[in-house]
Amino acid sequence: MKKLLTLPTALLLVVILFISGCGKNDCTECCDEKWAGPWGNPATQLDPVQFPYQQYTGGVVQTDVYYYFYLPGTPQRVQFFKGETIDNVCTDEHLNIDLNVIATGVASDRPIKVFGEIYWSVFSDETVLYNSVLNANQSVSGSISNVGLKQAFPEGAATVDVYINVEFESLGTLTADITYFQQHIYYFRAIYEYKKF
């Protein structure tokens, strides 16, 4: 009677299976310790709204720029946003993102819509944090939770784009709109925790 498996053969098979699994999505050893960040900088909890501003015309966004664009329609609305791309996200766990916008000490006299968006591959999710007149020093928060990334990235690391948006009726000029934005919005914050692939 032949032996089907010898001890050295069994050990070699285990090593080959372990090595071949690394780089695949189900390999928990391929994912690093947890990383956390608000806009990629774990040391800074809040990110002040400040210049520079750039008109958004499509494409990749830079982390250190606030973008704006005008929405079609009447009355015309302007949207300011800040975004970040999170690369090399391990897909073993669902991603949770907490969003927060803090108003200045000046109450707004028109409704301001505050919302967050995330995009991963062909998928997206959005949550409206607030859509009314902002009170002085008001903090509005929300989250996008349990984002499953394996469906979009079955074989490797995920890439996720996170945006916080502020939208209101335009005052008629870009200068007036930027001034209004700065007078009423103090900070944007996005906090997330994930394992690096």
H, E, C per residue of 60-99: CCCCCCEEEEEECCCCCEEEEEEEEEEEEECCCCCEEEEE
Which residues are registered as beta bridge partners of 141?
100
Residue 49 is predicted with a pLDDT of 62
CB of 129 closer than 8 Å to CB of 45: no
pTM score = 0.78
pLDDT tens figures, 91-115: 988 898 999 888 999 999 999 999 9
CB of 111 closer than 8 Å to CB of 133: yes
User: Average per-residue pLDDT in the chain?
Assistant: 81
Which residues are registered as beta bridge partners of 192?
37, 97
Pick the CATH number of 31-195 from 2.60.40, 2.60.120, 1.10.10, 3.30.70: 2.60.120
Q: How far apart are CA 24 and CA 100, in angstroms?
A: 34
- 139 pLDDT band, cuts 50/70/90, is very high
Q: How far apart are CA 23 and CA 75, in angstroms?
A: 51
CB of 140 closer than 8 Å to CB of 130: yes
